Amino acid sequence: MKKIFLIKLMLGLLIFFIAGSCNNKSKNGDLKKMAVVISTLNNPWFVVLGESAAERAQELGYVAHIFDSQNNSAKEAEHFDNIIAMGYDAILFNPTDADGSVLNVKRAKEAGIPTFCMDREINSRDAAVTQLLSDNFTGCVKLGQYFVRQMNKKGNYVEILGLVGDNNTWNRSSGFHSVVDEFPDLVMVAQQSADFDRNKAMDVMETIMQANPDIDAVFCGNDAMAMGAYQAVLAAGKADEVKVFGFDGARDAVEGIADGKIEATVMQFPVLMSRTSAELADQYINGNRDFSSKTPVEVILITPENVKEYLPEN
Amino acid sequence: MKKPIKYILGTLAVLLVLFLSFDIQKLDDYLAADTKVHFSAKDYAADFWENKLPAAISQAAPLLPLTNMLHNDPEKAFTDFGQKLGISGTWYFMVQGAGVIEAVEEENLLVTMNGEFQTRIATSFIFGNAIRDGSGAVNINEFLNMTDFNNVSIEINNLVRNNTVPILKENAKPGMKLQFAGAFEIKEDQIDVQSIRIIPVSVILSDGNKE
């Protein structure tokens, strides 16, 4: 009887030590920590990105804290200072600036903290462990082809850009123009930034329409700006004349396509990106070092032809 | 020499050494110079076309057996011949084949192979990443950012427009024989081999008697 008890006790201790060595605890016994640094929480899309990353990190057994950079690179640098000082184990990072954020990631790397970029890119091959990025270019190539066909290869259009320091802005613009610029009868009459902001896009579109009354379409670098541009078009009484194209797959834009307000958008998958980033960070912490420096995530063109599949109720 | 003069000269010497030791420039300028001056997508695409593409063409899958495999055993077709980038449901294939031009359409040539299977060879709407990714010869990890990587696709497509498409646009007629190599994309949840559209990178036209 004593022997059985002793065997059970030994097995119990063995399991305890194995579990102890495999769980996500730091040397002093505290749970390991992941920092989720988000460019701005003033946009629902990024709220989803940050919360999904934190939720997945918690499911994997980590303490997760979200930091809001408020689209301010100085604020972002402060967050990195605190994260390094507090000894976080990994950073799930949505940068504010493709160039300006590189130094922050390098500082974290020097401090032994791995960074995993989500959705927004930094211009570096090796500062971050890996970067999970929506394939914005390919999405806008598909959107551009749809745009050309909807416009019958001719007409005047406006482009409203996102943040000019963000690579996503230019990858979207470049994908779109790689198609549309091949058709000389499609003329861009204005190109202006509205910082991915709905209200700014409305103001920008109102101003552009005053100077250019003959506009047939507007391509916006995200859906928030597309909805702002649509409001401006609607207020000018031109909702039937000006076709509005967006990017993101935001709920109101998808519903707008179903209602005939928006022509098309491109759906991104922030939950997939953020959850996968947390999983990759967990793999890194547990010893995996085999990562591709960039991992594009496919995006889907949403048009009236397939919008039913992507409506929230479906 | 008097002590104060010695100190002044010594201090000036130290300041001079310090001044010459530093090169002060704006952070923005430094970062811009560090990251943006080195890459030419046009040069990269030209090198790809000249030196990497021929090997990819020589290993391209024969189109007819591949379409049969895509129809009957898509997983094997993806594994054996497909290329995929990142997290995606789209596969790219480099293929080769020969057939007879059935019709010259606005954006494609309709080609009949083996007297039964029909496919389309693009002569317009040359866009996307089929060649870059289908070739398997362009590694995303080599690139500083996605912009450079994507610009390679744009330049490769320009080479298709400038080098390959004019041969077809100027000469292709129904009844002519066409030998081709190129790439196409297909979504793994929408496999329809009848809708394959190939972006051509190499073409040989003949009227049956001569090339």
Which residue would you say has higher pLDDT here, A27 or B156?
A: B156
DSSP element (H, E) containing B204:
strand B197-206
CA pair distance A260, A151, nearest whole angstrom: 16
CA atoms within 13 A on the CB side of B100: 8
* Cβ–Cβ gap B150/A179 under 8 Å: no
In a domain, B200, yes or no: yes
In a domain, B18, yes or no: no
In a domain, B7, yes or no: no
The predicted-structure confidence for B47-79, as pLDDT tens digits, reads as follows: 999 999 999 999 999 999 999 999 999 999 999
- Check: CB of residue A108 under 8 Å from CB of residue A76: no
The predicted-structure confidence for A136-175, as pLDDT tens digits, reads as follows: 999 999 999 999 999 999 999 999 999 998 888 999 999 9
- Cβ-Cβ pairs closer than 8 A, A with B, add up to 82
* Cβ–Cβ gap A135/B88 under 8 Å: yes
Res. B23 pLDDT band, cuts 50 70 90: low
In chain B, residues with a C-beta closer than 8 Å to the C-beta of A132 are 87
* Cβ–Cβ gap B147/A170 under 8 Å: yes
In terms of Cα–Cα distance, which of A127, A69, A128 is closest to A97? A69
Chain B positions touching chain A (beta carbons under 8 Å): 28, 31-32, 35, 85-90, 125, 127-129, 140-141, 143-147, 149-151, 153-154, 157
In a domain, B91, yes or no: yes
Res. B18 pLDDT band, cuts 50 70 90: low
**Is the pLDDT reported for residue A25 higher than 70?**
no
In terms of Cα–Cα distance, which of B43, B57, B54, B61 is closest to B156? B43
What is the pLDDT, as a whole number, of residue A166?
Answer: 83
* Cβ–Cβ gap A125/B88 under 8 Å: no
Res. B116 pLDDT band, cuts 50 70 90: confident
Whether this prediction's pTM lies above 0.90 is answered by: no
**Number of domains into which chain B is organized:** 1
DSSP strand pairing (B117-122 vs B108-113)? antiparallel
CATH number, domain with residue B163:
2.40.50.420
The predicted-structure confidence for A115-131, as pLDDT tens digits, reads as follows: 999 999 999 999 999 99
In chain A, residues with a C-beta closer than 8 Å to the C-beta of B128 are 138, 141-142
In chain A, residues with a C-beta closer than 8 Å to the C-beta of B147 are 167, 170-171, 174
What is the pLDDT, as a whole number, of residue A42?
Answer: 86
Mean pLDDT of A94-100: 93
**Is the pLDDT reported for residue B8 higher than 90?**
no
Helix axes B146-159, A136-150, angle to 10 degrees: 50
What is the pLDDT, as a whole number, of residue A18?
Answer: 41
Q: Which domain holds residue B67?
A: 31-205
In a domain, B8, yes or no: no
In chain B, residues with a C-beta closer than 8 Å to the C-beta of A136 are 146
What is the pLDDT, as a whole number, of residue A29?
Answer: 65
Mean pLDDT of A80-96: 97
* Cβ–Cβ gap B147/A171 under 8 Å: yes
The predicted-structure confidence for A296-307, as pLDDT tens digits, reads as follows: 999 999 999 999
In a domain, B123, yes or no: yes
ipTM score: 0.82
**Is the pLDDT reported for residue A3 higher than 80?**
no
In a domain, B22, yes or no: no
- Check: CB of residue A52 under 8 Å from CB of residue A271: yes
What is the pLDDT, as a whole number, of residue B11?
Answer: 82
pLDDT averaged over chain A?
A: 91
DSSP element (H, E) containing B28:
helix B27-36
Q: Given B129, B140, B157, which is nearest A294 (Cβ)?
A: B140
Q: How many other CB atoms sit within 10 Å of the CB of residue B40?
A: 13
In a domain, B117, yes or no: yes
What is the pLDDT, as a whole number, of residue A20?
Answer: 41
DSSP strand pairing (B177-187 vs B90-104)? antiparallel
